[in-house]
Amino acid sequence: MDYAAFLSLREGTWSEFEQRLQQAQRNPRSVRYEDLEYLAVGYRQVLHDSGLAQARFPGTGAARRLARLAVEATRFLHQEHRDGGSGFLRFWTRTFPTAFRRNLGNLGVAVFLFAVGAVFGLGLSAVQPSMAMAILGPQAVADLENGHLWTESIVRSAPPSLTSSSIARNNLGVALVGWAGGALAGIGALYILFLNGLLLGSVFGVTMHYSMADRLLEFVSAHGPLEITLILVTASAGLRMGRALLEATDLPRGVVMQAAGRDALVILLGCLPWFVPLGFIEGFLSPSEIPPPLKVAVGLGLLALFLATAWNPRLSEEER
């Protein structure tokens, strides 16, 4: 291949790569996943062409241009973020929302399965109340027969600080089991989703049987919306790992699993901190005597704050 043919064949690709690289350098926050994928592929081609130009056409304009492009692309694609604060901010404003959005399909599956379990549990409590009551245990049923929710005895048995700590640990455990269950071809995550839906439906069915569903709704209104959402989101991240293990794609299995595992870990790390204030609210606020509308406002406000963080509307503006 002579120099003229080399330029004719490859110069258009270099120009497009240079233009896309300059755009990314001017506004790094606007770079999407597809842009990074293009730059990574183009970067490998530029390195190949640069080596070819240095070997066959040293000292030419193409050789110098390709060497400059290779250096600039290397600096951009391999830059190190040493500022811990900016890295922390980038996680919550870009890394976590991007992974959350890529996982929306699995989240839809999780919501559907949870809803199926809840409907099944509600129907079970209506058709076979004794089976549903067995899920709660004899002490909880005895409390209901005496006109009390079992949550009242839990709160009375320990100080709120210990109760909130125990609740946070329990919720964290459920989320971690659902997330880690994705490694078992998604079976563990599916089990956690259906089981939690079944428990929720059965519990509400039993309290309806004793005409105390309104009191249970009041109790869970401050923490329930976010708690259920976090369990669904973490379990759906586990489903992502399970689907990556089973689905056939054009990419090597190791590459697919690595990408799925990275997104699943990001989603988990984005959800775990929320369990701390959630445990505090469930231990202190939920059993308190504050007006129910205020509890509902807190519950919906927490959920809205989490969804705003996970979705990050500003990310949509940057992508446009």
Per-residue pLDDT at 235 exceeds 80: yes
pLDDT value at residue 83: 46
| Helix/strand/coil for 147 | coil
pLDDT value at residue 157: 52
Q: What are the start-end ranges of the H helices in 247-291? A: 253-271, 275-280
| Mean pLDDT of the 23-37 span | 78
**119: amino acid identity, one letter:** V
| Mean pLDDT of the 52-62 span | 83
**145: amino acid identity, one letter:** E
pLDDT value at residue 86: 56
Phi-psi region of 159 (alpha: psi -120 to 50; beta: other; left: phi over 0): beta
Mean pLDDT of all residues in the chain? 81
pLDDT value at residue 70: 85
pLDDT digits (tens, 9 = 90+) for 89-113: 888 988 899 999 999 999 999 999 9
pLDDT value at residue 165: 56
| Mean pLDDT of the 182-209 span | 83
Per-residue pLDDT at 270 exceeds 80: yes
pLDDT value at residue 249: 61
Q: Give dist(CA 92, CA 108) in Å, integer.
A: 22
Residue pair 267/226 in contact (Cβ under 8 Å)? The answer is: no
**Residue 127 buriedness (CB in 10 A; 0-12 / 13-18 / 19+):** exposed
| Mean pLDDT of the 33-41 span | 80
Per-residue pLDDT at 294 exceeds 90: yes
pLDDT value at residue 185: 65
What are the distances in angstroms from CA 174 to CA 23, 90, 235, 315? 44, 28, 9, 30
Every domain of the chain and the residues it spans: 3-79, 89-313
Instruction: Please report which helix (H) or strand (E) contains residue 232, including its range.
Output: helix 224-246
Residue pair 216/207 in contact (Cβ under 8 Å)? The answer is: yes
Per-residue pLDDT at 183 exceeds 80: no
